[in-house]
């Protein structure tokens, strides 16, 4: 992913845009550029888990793949993608004459922060020649701490990767860090060279104003980020990220991430010990998913009542069909007293609702 090699990174607005760009590059690699020239004329297939972010399906719609060519792979008891089910789906599509081309694995799913097994998925992708994208939008920041870098085990297999500093790295929206292992594959898919954009560097690289740019030659000569994204123009997103890195530094970022994980686990342990409450997913980092044993209607009412107090705000999801409350710890000023107050709010509200 280093720009000193064949890869590199660029700041996008969101993980949705990063995944879209990755999927376009993967499509063009799989079809040898024919999709850009003639449109999508074959069944090319995308794979991701049932727990993946909806932006993967949206990207497939935008670039002409369509919902019917997106395979939602089943997950295990911890809500992580099952490599055996992925392998079976890829083989079935090949046997049916379709072209598998893109796998999106997730490091920290939206609903529960589940971790897909990157090493197993990556080995399958490499063996079958599929592009592997890793979406670490929320959880990627945890890797600033050495003890949490297990979340990236197998990342060396990835063709592209993204995470959002605007989520857990305290940077204001919007800011996504998007990396590719082969930048020429990306610029080849997205690069167009009209005369009004042709520079001296492009001329020296042999770019023709009447044709699509020789992206590889131009990329070797200079990095032009307009060919790394959907829009032509770019905002100055790097400045706000630089300020965050400058202010907190390595030690500051690690301190906050570790504290958030500690507080989430403290909250999780108290939920697990409290009669009437149940955890619905493992607490991997800073997200706790739980419910009340009285069922979905009671859990939903409990969440609404707690949110109505204005003391905290939590969101929800569904896990194996059950309504789940999502408690996420991620602000720099959040302290132990806040986590304890959140637990007390749920416990006291549940007792009041059962009277």
- Output the pLDDT for position 207: 56
Joined together, the tokens standing for residue 344 give 């007390």
Instruction: Give the total residue count for the chain.
Output: 355
Instruction: Kindly report the backbone phi and psi dihedral angles of residue 163, in degrees, each rounded to the nearest multiple of 5, phi listed first.
Output: -145, 160
Residue-wise pLDDT for 283-316, tens only, equals 999 999 999 999 999 999 999 999 999 999 999 9
- Output the pLDDT for position 214: 53
Q: Which helix (H) or strand (E) holds 66?
A: none
Cβ pair 242, 308 in contact under 8 A:
no
Joined together, the tokens standing for residue 256 give 């906050």
In the chain (355 residues long), the average pLDDT of successive 10-residue segments reads: 84 93 93 85 92 95 93 96 97 95 96 96 95 96 96 96 95 94 89 77 59 54 77 86 95 97 97 95 95 96 96 94 95 94 96 89
The CATH topology of domain 248-353 is: 3.90.1150
Residue-wise pLDDT for 144-186, tens only, equals 999 999 999 999 999 999 999 999 999 999 999 999 999 989 9
Strand ranges (E), 74-185 = 99-106, 131-135, 160-163, 176-180
Residue-wise pLDDT for 56-67, tens only, equals 999 999 999 999
CA 250 distance to own-chain centroid:
22
- Output the pLDDT for position 205: 61
Count Cα neighbours of 305 within 13 Å in the Cβ-side half-sphere: 16
* Domain range list for the chain: 8-190, 248-353
**CATH among 3.40.50.460, 3.40.640.10, 3.40.50.620, 2.60.120.10 for 8-190:** 3.40.640.10
- Output the pLDDT for position 220: 59
DSSP 227-287: GGSSSSS---THHHHHHHHHHHHHHHHHHHHHHHHHHHHHHHHHHHHSTTEEE-S---SSE
Q: Establish whether domains 8-190 and 248-353 are of one fold.
A: no
- Output the pLDDT for position 21: 94
The 8-class DSSP code of residue 171 comes to: P
Helix (H, G, I), strand (E, B) or coil at 71: strand
Instruction: Kindly report the backbone phi and psi dihedral angles of residue 188, in degrees, each rounded to the nearest multiple of 5, phi listed first.
Output: -65, -35
CA 59 distance to own-chain centroid:
13
- Output the pLDDT for position 216: 56
Cβ pair 216, 188 in contact under 8 A:
yes
The 8-class DSSP code of residue 325 comes to: E
Helix (H, G, I), strand (E, B) or coil at 32: coil
- Output the pLDDT for position 195: 75
Model confidence, pTM: 0.89
- Output the pLDDT for position 210: 45
């Amino acid at each position: 992913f280093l720009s000193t090699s064949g890869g590199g990174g660029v700041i996008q607005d969101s993980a949705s845009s990063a995944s879209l760009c990755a999927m376009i590059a993967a499509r063009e690699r799989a079809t040898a550029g024919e999709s850009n020239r003639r449109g999508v004329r074959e069944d090319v297939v995308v794979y991701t888990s049932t727990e993946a972010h909806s932006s993967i399906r949206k990207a497939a719609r935008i670039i002409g793949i369509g919902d019917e060519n997106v395979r939602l792979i089943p997950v295990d008891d911890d809500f992580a993608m099952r490599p055996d089910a992925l392998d079976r789906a890829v083989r079935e599509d090949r046997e049916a004459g379709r072209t598998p081309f893109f796998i999106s694995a997730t490091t920290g799913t939206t609903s529960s922060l589940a971790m897909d097994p990157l090493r197993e998925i990556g080995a399958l992708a490499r063996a079958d020649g599929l592009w592997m994208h890793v979406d670490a939008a929320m959880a990627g920041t945890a890797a600033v701490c050495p003890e949490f870098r297990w979340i990236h085990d197998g990342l060396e297999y990835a063709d592209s990767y993204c995470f959002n500093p605007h989520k857990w790295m305290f940077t204001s929206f919007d800011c996504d860090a998007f990396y590719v292992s082969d930048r020429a594959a990306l610029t080849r898919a997205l690069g167009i060279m009209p005369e009004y954009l042709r520079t001296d560097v492009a001329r020296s690289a042999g770019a023709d104003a009447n044709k699509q740019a020789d992206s590889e030659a131009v990329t070797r000569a200079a990095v032009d980020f307009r060919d790394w994204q959907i829009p032509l123009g770019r905002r100055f997103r790097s400045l706000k990220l630089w300020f965050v890195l400058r202010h907190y530094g390595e030690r500051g970022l690690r301190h906050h991430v570790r504290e958030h994980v500690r507080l989430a686990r403290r909250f999780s342990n108290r939920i697990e010990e409290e009669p009437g409450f149940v955890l619905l997913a493992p607490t991997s980092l800073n997200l706790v998913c739980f419910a009340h044993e009285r069922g979905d209607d009671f859990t939903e009412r409990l969440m609404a009542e707690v949110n109505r107090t204005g003391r905290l705000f939590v969101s929800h999801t569904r896990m194996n069909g059950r309504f789940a409350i999502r408690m996420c710890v991620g602000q720099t000023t959040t302290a132990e007293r806040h986590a304890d107050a959140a637990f007390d709010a749920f416990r006291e509200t549940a007792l009041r609702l059962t009277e």
